[in-house]
Structure 1
Amino acid sequence: MQDQNSLVEYGSRRVIITITAVVCALLEIIDTTIVNVAISDMRGSLGATLNEVSWVITAYAIANVIIVPMTSWLAQQFGRTNYFAASIILFTVSSFLCGNASSINELILFRFLQGLGGGALLVTSQTIITEIFPVEKRGMAQAIYMLGVIVGPTLGPPVGGYIIEHYAWPYIFYINIPVGILATLLTIRYVKSPKYADKRKPSEVDWLGIGLLALAVGCLQYILEKGQEEDWFSNSTIVVLAVLAVLGFFFFIWRELTFKYPIVELRVLKNSNLRIGVILSFIMGFGLYGSTFVIPVYTQSLLGWNAQQTGMLMVPSALMIAFMMPIIGQLIQKGVSQKLLITGGFIIFFIFCMGCYYIITPSTGGENFFWVLMIRGVGLGFLAVPVSVMSLSTLKGQQIGQGAAFSGMMRQLGGSFGVAMISTFISRQNMVHRSTLVSKLDMYNPDVQQRVEQLKASFIAKGQPVNIAEGSAYKLLDGTIGVQSTVLSYMDVFLYVGVMFLLCVPIVIFFVKRSKNKVSMAEAAH
């Protein structure tokens, strides 16, 4: 195996490789959320139902989660440079095919292929950036990488909204093509590949492990993406897939612990910091993707904003994260406790959630969200890099690649869980609050009768007949109840997510072990 120090780069080469890797990671992450704002345009263009077109998002997410745990092993099999370049090519070609798709089935297939290429970019980019920096500067390396990972989901909606507003939906895929071509050429020219001593013969490859992993995470991702839409376990497909996911994970774990050459080295989870880091990555993904989902839904459904307005609302938060990243990287390099930074991050994110809880009303405007979203940016800045560094800080050599893959997969799964659980929670809480509000609306109450008469009078003044005006008054009252119950549901979301983040603080304080080195992120993913 190649000496780690021979992979360290300096000067312009390091800058070029870093930019290439960050841009690739950013492209992959942006593409997870950029299509969200193009759903209605795709439906009209391809003649698809909402259920069919939502598979454009689901197929990409499933492919992502399947490929991420295998990236370390695939890089060993084919060489880092070859694998990274091939992944960029697959992502770029698939982007072109997505833009040219003439049917919804073609688009879903090409999005799945794009997800396979994109998921590989995520972890491989992290490994490359880690390796080209000297050990003492790897806190900064992680800050640079996490900048793309955390800012990406926030940039997707405004970029997608702008393109849809001024061009057409295929261009959300076409913009990847020139960047992908340039990234491929730079990768082939500049990125070094470690010399791997442990390639597997075809007979030694864990084909069964690959199949079981694909089955388990594919079924789980489908359940998370489609559960609310299909009414969860009252749907026979969801039940069957849930059984397959449980059996798939059970036999996958058994296979990986007994096979001589496992596709995913589960034993690396014996490391306590990585175990805690994987849990914290899951929760961080839950908060990152959940808040990126819930605020746009709120502004579009209740405030009537378009996709571009909603996207621009999230930009200050993204800029704050970008501002925080190098500062946090410097603090880690100077030896500031990762445990302290992570604790601060969870508390700050809790403050963000409580801020949203208190400001949300049926008339909350964009200016009300500005400062709470800035707090969100600070909180994620404090969490992203320290959690990533802490997870890998007590691992060595080949273990780091496996650890990075686990963290990446759990962050993605946390996001999927977050979006699925929040959408389900909102719809169910909505019914609960509506029922409660209606039960308190006694039509014999003089105040209620007075309100109905006021509304009725206003409709009569606008020229409506008396009998129609009364119906309009009751309809408006019902609409007001609907808005109030929806607002209360969103308040509940922020309250419970905030409490979940606050409960992570004692986990960090009592279970995270401090590494003896400042940043002991030795030889990455070999």
Structure 2
Amino acid sequence: MEQPISLVEYGSRRVIITITAVFCALLEIIDTTIVNVALNNMRGSLGATLNEVSWVITAYSIANVIIVPMTSWLSQQFGRRNYFAASIIIFTVASFLCGNSTNIGELILFRFIQGLGGGALLVTSQTIITESYPPEKRAMAQAIYVLGVIIGPTLGPPLGGYIVDNFSWPYIFYINIPVGIIAALLTLQFVRSPKYGEKRPASEVDWLGIMLLTVAVGSLQYILEKGQEDDWFSSKLIIALSVIAFLGFYLFIWRELVYKYPIVELRVLKNSNLRMGVLLSFIQGFGLFGSTFIIPLYTQSILGWNAQQSGMLMVPSTLMVAFMMPIVGQLIQRGVSQKYLIALGMIVFFIYSLMSYKIITPQTSADNFFWALMVRGLGLGFLSVPISTMSLSTLKGPEIAQGAAFSGMMRQLGGSFGVALISTFLSRDIVGHRSNLVRNLDIYDPAVQDRVRRIAAGMQAKGMAPNVALKSAHQMLDGSVSVQATILSYMDIFLYIGIMFLVCVPLVLIFIKRSKSKVSMADAAH
């Protein structure tokens, strides 16, 4: 249905709405990664196991992915302004409760509630910003929004590390409270709700669709978060949830296509730009969250950095993205084709992966990473705005919110798939590289024996007994083999992520060209 009124804003009112929406999106994404560095402190103060405390991350992610596809429908049911303000209030109150948790069960429950509020912030922020700008300025609007999406994962770890080092872990939740209060007040004062027609009575609400979506998405997210930990399909729970997720999605799609008032309007995917944008959002999420996950992991496990140092390493890359956003927004407004910008971004991201593949060693320094990460920022700058703009560019009215929900969910799922696949690949690839290295390491080789002798002699010189020194020398050699196997696995990951982006370049160029021409929807879907 076409909107009877224009939601386009001007002057200071548009500035206030934009700042409010970006801050809400930023809050939501920072909270996805800020807890990572505080898990050990939480475990100690709440008396939880490592498996229990990891649910602090998992519960938030599951709630996020469940609520995101429903945001468009919930906005129509309650009015966008009311729903957005309520989500901010839920997120803020849950943040307070998380900080005041006295046991791990409470913390997991409140994190789930926080995720239900937070998921709405991300997608509704994008919709509000998009509709506040006239169509010719939407590329710039997306640039502003995407900046928050890119900065969030990078800011989380260093900010969390600083708070944990200087205060205590509850303050990673308490910092949300003042921002949340101000954002809720500004939303109620300035954000307007579109007139989407009358809301449905309770009897017409798609309760079965809601249940199927919750079960399917919740199961899938659990599989992705916990699969590696539970050794994937050797776990009966993972097998059961895989079957449930498959059946849940199958029945959900059937339900939404036949029900008169679906909770998620799947027909909006007939729009070829949105369909392409959803696919690219998944790939972008894979690369963005995957690289944000792997670099801190490498610097902390191999180079021995702390969380704050690892987080600060990513800051120049984020600043590069910030620098690129308005430039790319201007290029799109001046008529540069989005498909060429996306293809260029993917090529640049491949170059970043190749540079990372070549520089990582046990002695790699922050200086070595600097230019590779600047190239990463350049690539994300060329990718993020064109993908978001293209996804929503030909949508109108309620379709904008529906499209934003799809691309937001796929970006989140892309990130979850990226982290799950990378962590699985790492653990298995390390074993493979280690066995290859050990196979080529002959203990009877004179060079190997000489190396062990020299290490043992150095330890004896420091006062160690000969038998202890020899044992320690063998342990050191074993440790260096493990480090080398791990580094080779990281190199493989960077190379494969790069190749994935490079392979997508011709597909992007061909697919977008075909979607612009008058081909059938069935054709364009392949």
Structure 2 matches for 1:96-495, cutoff 5 A? 96-495=96-495
SS at match of 1:477: helix
- What's the CA shift for 1:4? 6.5
User: Whole-Å Cα distance in 2 between the matches of residues 280 and 504 of structure 1?
Assistant: 9
CA deviations on 1:94-126 (whole Å, 9 max, x unpaired) are: 000000000100000000000000000111101
User: Whole-Å Cα distance in 2 between the matches of residues 15 and 393 of structure 1?
Assistant: 21
Residue 218 of structure 1 aligns to which amino acid in structure 2? G
User: Whole-Å Cα distance in 2 between the matches of residues 120 and 397 of structure 1?
Assistant: 18
- 405-414 vs 441-450, greater mean Cα deviation: 441-450
Residue 379 of structure 2 aligns to which amino acid in structure 1? G
SS at match of 2:56: helix
- What's the CA shift for 1:434? 0.3
User: Whole-Å Cα distance in 2 between the matches of residues 375 and 151 of structure 1?
Assistant: 16
Residue 314 of structure 2 aligns to which amino acid in structure 1? M
Residue 179 of structure 2 aligns to which amino acid in structure 1? V
**Which residue in the other structure is 1:511 paired with?**
511
- What's the CA shift for 1:197? 0.9
Q: Does the 8 Å contact 2:342/2:383 carry over to 1?
A: yes
User: Whole-Å Cα distance in 1 between the matches of residues 271 and 16 of structure 2?
Assistant: 34
Residue 191 of structure 1 aligns to which amino acid in structure 2? V
**Which residue in the other structure is 1:520 paired with?**
none
- What's the CA shift for 1:403? 1.3
User: Whole-Å Cα distance in 2 between the matches of residues 198 and 444 of structure 1?
Assistant: 82
- What's the CA shift for 1:271? 2.2
CA deviations on 1:34-58 (whole Å, 9 max, x unpaired) are: 0000000000010000000000000
User: Whole-Å Cα distance in 1 between the matches of residues 57 and 291 of structure 2?
Assistant: 18
- What's the CA shift for 1:308? 0.9
CA deviations on 1:298-335 (whole Å, 9 max, x unpaired) are: 11111111111111111111111111111111111111
**Which residue in the other structure is 2:522 paired with?**
none
SS at match of 1:7: coil
SS at match of 1:86: helix
**Which residue in the other structure is 1:56 paired with?**
56
User: Whole-Å Cα distance in 1 between the matches of residues 250 and 200 of structure 2?
Assistant: 25
User: Whole-Å Cα distance in 2 between the matches of residues 284 and 456 of structure 1?
Assistant: 49
CA deviations on 1:419-476 (whole Å, 9 max, x unpaired) are: 1110111110000000000000011211111111111211111111221111111111
Residue 21 of structure 2 aligns to which amino acid in structure 1? A
Residue 225 of structure 2 aligns to which amino acid in structure 1? E
User: Whole-Å Cα distance in 1 between the matches of residues 286 and 270 of structure 2?
Assistant: 24
**Which residue in the other structure is 1:36 paired with?**
36
User: Whole-Å Cα distance in 2 between the matches of residues 334 and 436 of structure 1?
Assistant: 54
Residue 18 of structure 1 aligns to which amino acid in structure 2? T
Q: Does the 8 Å contact 2:5/2:195 carry over to 1?
A: no
**Which residue in the other structure is 2:22 paired with?**
22
Q: Does the 8 Å contact 2:2/2:396 carry over to 1?
A: no
Residue 242 of structure 1 aligns to which amino acid in structure 2? S
TM-score by length of 2: 0.96
SS at match of 2:193: coil
Q: Does the 8 Å contact 1:299/1:310 carry over to 2?
A: yes
Q: Given the alignment of the two structures, is residue 77 of structure 1 paired with residue 80 of structure 2, yes or no?
A: no
- 463-472 vs 122-131, greater mean Cα deviation: 463-472
SS at match of 1:264: coil
SS at match of 2:18: helix
User: Whole-Å Cα distance in 1 between the matches of residues 431 and 140 of structure 2?
Assistant: 47
Residue 447 of structure 1 aligns to which amino acid in structure 2? A
SS at match of 2:314: helix
Q: Does the 8 Å contact 1:62/1:218 carry over to 2?
A: yes
Q: Does the 8 Å contact 1:126/1:145 carry over to 2?
A: yes
CA-atom RMSD in angstroms? 1.2
- What's the CA shift for 1:394? 2.9
Residue 453 of structure 1 aligns to which amino acid in structure 2? R
**Structure 1: tracts of 5 or more residues without a match:** 517-526
CA deviations on 1:71-109 (whole Å, 9 max, x unpaired) are: 011000100110000000000000000000001000000
- What's the CA shift for 1:270? 2.1
User: Whole-Å Cα distance in 1 between the matches of residues 17 and 396 of structure 2?
Assistant: 23
CA deviations on 1:343-390 (whole Å, 9 max, x unpaired) are: 010001111111110000011011111111111111111101101111
**Which residue in the other structure is 2:502 paired with?**
502
Q: How many residues align?
A: 516
SS at match of 2:34: helix
- What's the CA shift for 1:5? 5.9
SS at match of 2:6: helix
- 36-45 vs 265-274, greater mean Cα deviation: 265-274
Residue 497 of structure 1 aligns to which amino acid in structure 2? I
**Which residue in the other structure is 1:65 paired with?**
65
- What's the CA shift for 1:286? 0.5
- What's the CA shift for 1:400? 2.1
- What's the CA shift for 1:196? 1.9
Q: Does the 8 Å contact 2:34/2:160 carry over to 1?
A: yes
Q: Does the 8 Å contact 2:273/2:515 carry over to 1?
A: no
Identity %: 74
Q: Does the 8 Å contact 2:3/2:397 carry over to 1?
A: no
Q: Does the 8 Å contact 2:215/2:245 carry over to 1?
A: yes
- What's the CA shift for 1:266? 1.1
Residue 61 of structure 2 aligns to which amino acid in structure 1? A
User: Whole-Å Cα distance in 2 between the matches of residues 325 and 403 of structure 1?
Assistant: 21
CA deviations on 1:118-174 (whole Å, 9 max, x unpaired) are: 000111101110111111111100111111111111111111111011100000000
Q: Does the 8 Å contact 1:300/1:306 carry over to 2?
A: yes
Q: Does the 8 Å contact 1:353/1:495 carry over to 2?
A: yes
Residue 250 of structure 1 aligns to which amino acid in structure 2? Y
User: Whole-Å Cα distance in 2 between the matches of residues 363 and 190 of structure 1?
Assistant: 52
- What's the CA shift for 1:273? 2.1
Q: Does the 8 Å contact 1:59/1:115 carry over to 2?
A: yes
Q: Does the 8 Å contact 1:433/1:485 carry over to 2?
A: yes
CA deviations on 1:203-230 (whole Å, 9 max, x unpaired) are: 1110000000000000000000001111
Change (3 A) 1:5 1:343: farther
- What's the CA shift for 1:393? 2.2
CA deviations on 1:265-287 (whole Å, 9 max, x unpaired) are: 11222222222211111010011
